[in-house]
Amino acid sequence: MKLTYREAMREAMREAMQKDPRVFLMGEDVGAYGGCYAVSKGLMAELGPERIRDTPLSEAGFVGAGIGAALVGMRPIVEVMTVNFSLLALDQIVNNAATLRHMSGGQLSVPLVVRMATGAGRQLAAQHSHSFENWYAHVPGLKVVAPATVEDARWMLWTALEDPDPVIVFEHVGLYNRSEEIGEGGGPVDITRAAVRRQGDDITLVTYGGSLPKTMEAAEVLAGQGIGCEVIDLRSLRPLDVDTIARSVTRTRRAVVVDEGWRTGSLAAEIMATIVERGFWSLDAPLARVCTAEVPIPYPKHLEDAALPQVAGIVKAVREVLGHA
């Protein structure tokens, strides 16, 4: 069965609501309009306004309402239109959802899923295009996932909904139109484990979300130059699957991290520190990273492209680490 990433997310939500009467979707324009990125298109007509709830334009308000619903036994899916707007709900997510289990001594749980679009590449300018995944991955009490394939978009949600604690799902805007064949017999997946998307012996490339297709393309280019890249798709940003990363780097002895976040304080920096802590004596070369330029994401396409990690930059970084520049 061939689905787009957008269709896979929609099917995942439809299935969840059909299976479990506690599951509902809420957010700005998710109902009658069908979602800013058309992920929930048609679901309101099919499932009704009790299950697909349009909310006022108040991220703090409707994320707080989702936390309240989770506390009394519901399984809400809250859609925040873009990660930039989620900053208006940081108090609810970081100070409430992430802390209530700890502050109640384990008496309360918040089984909440927050979905949000992230990333750049569609000329949506600086207030709609940033990558703040590392901000949320910094917070104890949250799980943070970034499905990068249609298969993961289809099957990660059910696992997230079964989790007793809040899960943040980052959907890269550049992936919504991508399509893949997926198996009919899939099911819930472990949202705490990375996946090795390509085998290789010369260097490990670590990435996630919208940077995976670019990293895979760079690996293909490098294969034509006789360089074998092992590509790791993190899938989970909190917790990080440190064991999978360490096993790969211990074998290849070199690594490049590709991260659409800004370089300063980036998730890439955390991954590099983890590699050094776990496998410094295995390394044969300094680590490298390819990140977004330290600027607000520009609107003009040529400047947006220049700011973001691209295939050519990944290829260049790999060749430099290998001493082939």
Residues paired with 115 in a beta bridge: 79, 169
Does residue 128 have an active-site annotation?
yes
User: Strand locations in the chain, DSSP E?
Assistant: 2-4, 23-27, 52-54, 75-80, 113-118, 143-145, 167-172, 179-181, 195-198, 203-207, 229-233, 236-238, 255-262, 288-292
Does residue 102 have an active-site annotation?
no
Neighbouring C-beta atoms of residue 191, cutoff 10 Å:
23
Residues paired with 256 in a beta bridge: 205, 288
Token pair of 90 as six digits: 């940081």
d(CA 301, CA 321): 29
Residue 152: phi and psi, rounded to 5, are -70, -35
Considering the candidates 7, 59, 79, 151, report the single residue annotated as catalytic: 59
d(CA 5, CA 145): 15
Considering the candidates 7, 28, 79, 128, report the single residue annotated as catalytic: 128
Task: Report, as residue numbers or ranges, the catalytic residues.
Answer: 59, 128
